[in-house]
A and B are shown apart, each in its own frame.
Chain A
Amino acid sequence: MVERSRIVRRRSPIKRALLYITVILVCIVFVFPIFWMIATAFKTRAQAFSWPPLFIWEPTTRNFIDIFLKRQTEIEAITGWELELATGAEIFFINSMIVTFGSIVLALLIGTLAAYSFSRYRPKGTDTLMFFILSTRMLPGIVVAIPIYFFYRNIGLYSTHIGLILLYTMFNLPFAVWMMKSFFDEIPRDIEQAAMVDGTKPIKLFYKIALPQVIVGLAATVGFLIINVWNEFLFALLLTERSVRTVPVAIASTRGEVGINWGLIAAIETLYVIPAIVLIFLLQKYLLRGMTFGTVRGV
């Protein structure tokens, strides 16, 4: 870090100005949509549609109140789907959380154990199996969407939490196995061998010696998988009815006779983004360390 700041300081003022302008422009491109989403969340229906766009307005918390306090607000134009959305939003949030949490826990549990076995025991045909696992992700989801729909209908998994959890687990497993295997591959075998000689049995070896060494990789994997599931749309749309509907689908199924209430949608989106941002901040330390993994280690 010291090195880097010294390099920046040595640059000429013009170069520095250019650098900052570029950084600011890039930031605008990335940050503006998020800013606009949050801004819209605090606008009334009319304000959201006004032209030219309003950059200065009196913010309203009506949209958030609509989400949380529903019926108590004055009913202005809340009808049909909007009413449904506004009066049941927390159901969608809860669904998203159940599905994400359940599938992540399952995928990590199975994926980490599988990755460890592949990395350490190398059963016959490991390379073939690893390729096979990856190949399940090579088909675009849409190709299998219809068969899965009928399949789920017939075995009673349609529109159930467990159905979505199982499906997402299946989608996430290849990533979990591949990512975790590469992290396990990176830790030297001698450490586990030393633990064996010191009296550690295989299962304990896994959770007491191997797992703590890949905790950084585990965090990076969790972040990656959560983003996968939290944003999933196609199968959630296809396989759920209202009771199990997740937030992305709920937002998208907003169409009505009286137009779209962008303010309300933006408010829900804003709330939906918060957990993702919190997560990134929480995992930031690990994600950064994950990138330097393997370069800072001694021996």
Chain B
Amino acid sequence: MVRVSLIDLTKRYGRITAVDGLNLDIPNMSLTVLLGPTGAGKTTTIKCISGVISPDKGDILFDGESVINIPPWERNVAQFFQTYALYPHLSVYDNIAYPLRERGVSKDEIDKRVKEVARKLRINHLLDRKDPTTLSGGEMQRVALARTLVREPKVILLDEPISNLDAKLREEMIYEFKRLCRELCQTIIYATPDHLEALAVGERIAVIKDGKLHQYGTPEEIYNHPVSKFVATFVGSPTINMIEGELKMKDGSLYLVEGGVTINISNIAGDWINKLSGDKIILAIRPEDILILKERQEGSLEAKALIAEPLGHETVVTCKLGENELKILVRGFFSVKYGEHVWIKINMSKAHIIDPKTEVVLI
């Protein structure tokens, strides 16, 4: 229910800097995803917000007021731990009831709330279990999730909350998080290394790597307008295609030359040429922005089809263009023979140019 601001947040462990000058403004009643690979500093950031870790530098504000000196037991946040962190000596029921008991909620109210959250997470049959460490991974995750969602704190912090659930329950939980955020006006901060989950869950996504913020924006901004090579490659499946080559000017047209392949990029020429640090560029195109043709067309490039992976509603076709392997998404089923000649057409209006040295996305 509060707006959370991280200002220059820094945390070091010995020589390793887990979080490196992180600035992030998380609006109230929003669902914000921290997206990054393992070791990016997501968990450390979340623990700093809940207060169980004190940062070396920087400040954390709830609605503009610093909480850095408020201990975790008074910060009124709820956190789901990646390791579940269930209390091994308490029963499943007592685990879920624990945060309510610590806050002096009445017995009847506790019983009502525990049963309600257990029903939602489909763990009511587990409530009597004495030793939560004997549960399966998915069950433990749901019990830990129930313990997090049983009360109404200022901020809900979720650290990889659905990684161990089956597909159906994952879908339902994503819906549940979004509903919580909208209906109960909760501020939720959600960490995950899974970009698809991030796109599905997040209203805003902060892409983090090595403790540094790469990009912060809506899922659409992150997907369609990545600011760095890392964001472009990390988000999206199959991974964005990259062709690195030299930039050449010929007869007033602009070309990308790599091996035996020459790609005309005249229609995306612009200011970015002046920002280049060298004469090499990377052309990045999402798999769905390449058209595959069985016959030659104007402006198409000749390529060799290698394999096709049908996924039902679409097919991933791997082609070889010069020395580069490209993944291309085709709607429905599409079959190719190994080594078959095909023609591909790149949708230049959706393509990105990346400076290979600075790894900045220029357009």
Contacts and interface: CB of A to CB of B under 8 A. Distances in A.
B219 to A, nearest CB: 28
A190 interface: yes
Given A198-B99, A299-B84, A193 B140 contact: no
Interface in A170-221: 188, 190-191, 193-201, 209, 212-213, 215
B81 A195 contact: no
B85 A191 contact: yes
A209 B89 CA distance: 8
A195 B87 contact: yes
A51 B216 CA distance: 94
B266 to A, nearest CB: 56
Nearest to B153: A197
Contacts, number: 68
B73 interface: yes
B357 to A, nearest CB: 41
A199 B99 contact: yes
B52 interface: yes
**Secondary structure of the A contact surface, majority rule:** helix
Nearest to A198: B99
A274 B147 CA distance: 47
Given A213-B89, A298-B140, A197 B72 contact: yes
B7 interface: no
A190 B83 contact: yes
Contacts of B84: 190, 299
B89 A212 contact: yes
Contacts of A9: none
Interface of B: 47, 50-52, 71-73, 75, 77-79, 81-89, 98-99, 102-103, 133-134, 140, 147
Interface string A120-152: 000000000000000000000000000000000
B170 to A, nearest CB: 20
A190 B157 CA distance: 14
* Most B CB within 10 A of own CB, among A193, A198, A212, A299: A198
A191 B88 contact: yes
B52 A193 contact: yes
Contact of A213 (B51, B79, B88, B147): B88
B79 A194 contact: yes
Interface string A211-253: 0110100000000000000000000000000000000000000
Given A191-B85, A191-B86, A299-B83, A196 B102 contact: no
